[in-house]
Structure 1
Amino acid sequence: MTTATVVDGSAAAARLSGAPHTSSYSALSRTVREAGLLRRAYGYYLWTGGLLVLALGAAASGFVLLGDSWLQLLVAGALGLILTQFAFLAHEAAHRQVFATGPVNDRVGRVVANVVVGISYSWWMSKHTRHHANPNHVGKDPDVANDTIVFTEEGAREHRGLLALITRYQGWLFFPLLTLEGLNLHLTSVRSLLHGTDADRGARVRELVTIGLRLVLARAVVFWWLPFGMASAFLGVQLAVFGVYMGASFAPNHKGMPMVPEGSRLDFLSKQVLTSRNIRGGAWTSALMGGLNHQVEHHLFPSMPRPHLARARLLVREHCAANGLPYTETGLVRSYAIVVGYLNRVGLAARDPFDCPLRQSMRGY
């Protein structure tokens, strides 16, 4: 089988302006459906969910048995990993991958996200749905909107003061900043529910109360059981591991791939394939990243259960090769290097225009 594989997305970038507005996606979709890859995988999710519940119970038992011991930081790290895995399940339920009907997926996803993880399911649904509709599309994809990290040179030029300083070195600072992402997810969830404008105010209130109780009670237990300093360290480690794991799982998928200029139009197949990157690896990589390593297939078929994505990859790669569409996949470590390099290149736009790079390089001589 021949494949069109690129590492850094540069070949895909050349196609953004000229990609056709009609595609062969319907033919690919028919092939995937006939292969049975859109069928539910109840057994897989039953085992996965069961193992995660056992892991959470083991972490809770370790927390109680260790008592006043700095070994609790190991439990905190493990808890950060376990909660991220639960977040992957909530993500899959939001995409209708777990159960056959939307309402059941939503109920389970809301419980997992709100009660277990402590983030807003409705906020995530709204944000992530917009991302899937227009990945890497400037002005439409909320994941590339200006924030502490920026993804366009125009965005980098808008930053001033401390933000501009961070932006200049944002590639190198990316992973350190992810240690704060867990805290940011909790705060953003609460803020979105407090200031949301959706019609179902009652649902927002219920979600806000649930998340509030989850966050307050969990912290109350930690501070009641452990000395103040140790409890603070426990929560810091747990949030840091959660944030880094979440960010390190989602970042390789689109960061450093071509950006779609505002106002551009692309057909569905081109839009999803050209802006997405797969991560090579087998079943362990898929388990580690919650199936996000098969990002191309996930974007083409969002409701496809995780265990079917590997087989779909073979079909999608063959289809892309036959249609001359670049298909990007790389190793996990290489993907991080691409992300860091891309963010640093974008960050150069925040440099003082009168700060000559040659002058900077000559300092010290």
Structure 2
Amino acid sequence: MNKKLFGVLLMVIPVLSSAQLMITEVYRDTPYSEYIDVNYAPYQNPNPDLYEKLRKRHRGEFVEIFNASDTDLNLKDWKLRDDEGSFDLPDKIIKSGQFVVVVANNNTGGDYFPGFFSTTQGKDNQIIYQNAFKLNNANESISLIAKNIAGHNILQEYVASGLSFQQENNNFGISAGFDAVANPSIFYEVKDWQYGYNTPQFPNPLNATILPPIKPLNDYVGDILYQNYDILTWDVNAENLINNKCDTYIASVAQSSNTGTTSGGKSFNYDLAGNSTAANVYSPNTNPGSSSGYSADELEQIKTAIQLSPNPTYDIVNVSITGIAQGKVSSLQVFSSLGALLFTKNNLQNPSDFNFSFSLGNQITGVYVANFTLNTGQVVSKNILKY
């Protein structure tokens, strides 16, 4: 085989490797001839045999991806991009510690790859064929890009892993046009980049000898999520978010109400910063049959019967006062996390006001508080997350 593999100098520059999926092998310089001189007459009107060789010139190229986290991930949240195109990975689970290879498919089949590389035989479910991009033998940059992080949409693409190949001469790895289908062993005579090595290695797809360490998913993405905490939801991230962002405890001071006949039943509850907790303000009871307002159980039932949807929301919040809460809610006040009053609605004891809406569309991302004042003067609060 008349094949010059790397020319005078080939530099492989890692771009980044700090996320749960990473590139672990790139095989871009195959035995097929890649270079085409468009001024060469036979290439302008090739006969069927030459046409077939030209059509196949990228066959065997692949990018290997490894899941280095302790969590199974969906590839649909990722894409591969080179200097000329990009490919959105399919809706497919890659298990912790598992490989996939993304393979050039400019042929009529789409199942040729195990015939070239015996390490992939019997692993068809780990082979992904694509036509979106083809790898250059000379200068080339390959990036593995996260479209979201750990299931959370992010505002901009995040380059998780990548490589840049730079070759200082014009050697394009021209071969004699071998029939690689009939002679797959010729692929093992060509070397390219693998994770953990400083020198070119023989291709070894889906069977690496040096692996990135398996780490907890949060070790890879925790800092990214905390830096973009506004994308987090109320699920598994809530505790981490609170501990990370709200580590200051503010004690409270309070005065119990005097229930004497001349006291007026007033009380207060403030934290040390001077913020009043309205839910604990006592007012004379106006609910027949109760001497001190609704019980804790009744308040919880009323709170449950007040429904806010959707929550989280991008804009509109729909309020529904149902069941036990109907006739017991007097008014609503919506506050920002800084205490600014954004919305008020009164006279909510009328059936015509049991269902209504308000908008947070012009507000910033964050947490908002909806305070519902009851006919006893007691207040129940519900949180709203605004994307």
Identify the TM-score tier after normalising by the shorter chain: under 0.3
Which has the higher Rg, Structure 1 or Structure 2? 2
Q: Which has the higher helix share?
A: 1
Normalising by structure 2, report the TM-score: 0.20
Normalising by structure 1, report the TM-score: 0.21
Q: Which has the higher strand share?
A: 2
Query: Per chain length, whose mean CA-contact separation is higher, i.e. which structure has more relative contact order (CA < 8 Å, sep 6+)?
Result: 1
